A and B are shown apart, each in its own frame.
Chain A
């Protein structure tokens, strides 16, 4: 069956970096782009952008062009979200979803606190 399994929760300090993984199974990884969505505590969904899983080309929303990096390890059917120079406002749950949005990862809760 199709699954997107994300890495575990993260507790980080401001200024640190992290890398979240999203491992796909049950379908051909390169047939669908991978999207990333942010959900701050108690808030709605914010679209971060996507990565073309055939070319590796990322496309970022304006709010996520500075410190955020989408990448792939195609041989492992895995997409990654890296966040550099973490800020308190990065505290949120981060979801991956394949481009048709019919399958989502379970989400990674990221807490940034000094």
Chain B
């Protein structure tokens, strides 16, 4: 199975900060990558698919980039409601998830 490695595991940032989360695949997954936001006690919410396509209804401060093995989720201006855990997910081959990045307010 393809391993997905997310970093950092914990990120503290202030409201208004530009935040960057990383996800690395153990082999090329081309653009077959999604990002999810999960708040405590809720189901994951799809933010980005195909590495850089914004899901309908998701604020434009969220963006995704990358190709092959290295991917990034960027929040251009952090808002209090963005406190959550973020997971990457590859679906190029048998689906696997990263372990997550927990984003908290400083």
Q: Does A45 contact B (CB under 8 A)?
A: yes
Q: Does A47 contact B (CB under 8 A)?
A: yes
**A-contact 0/1 string along B66-84, CB 8 Å cutoff:** 0000000000000000000
**Could you tell me which residues of chain B, from 32 to 57, have a CB within 8 Å of some CB in chain A?**
34, 36, 42-46, 49, 55
Q: Does B96 contact A (CB under 8 A)?
A: yes
**How many residues from B make CB contacts under 8 Å with A?**
18
Nearest residue (CB) in A for B96 is A47
**How many residues from A make CB contacts under 8 Å with B?**
16
Q: Are B98 and A101 in contact (CB under 8 A)?
A: no
Q: Give Cα distance in the complex from A61 to B42, angstroms.
A: 24
Q: Which single member of A44, A47, A105, A107 contacts B95 (CB below 8 Å)?
A: A47
Whether A104 touches B87, Cβ cut-off 8 Å, given contacts A44-B97, A47-B95, is: no
Q: Does A106 contact B (CB under 8 A)?
A: yes
Cβ contacts under 8 Å, A101 to chain B: 34, 36, 44, 46, 49, 89
Q: Which single member of A44, A97, A104, A107 contacts B98 (CB below 8 Å)?
A: A44
**A-contact 0/1 string along B89-106, CB 8 Å cutoff:** 100001111111000000
Q: Which residues of A contact B (CB under 8 A)?
A: 35, 37, 44-47, 61, 95, 97, 100-102, 104-107
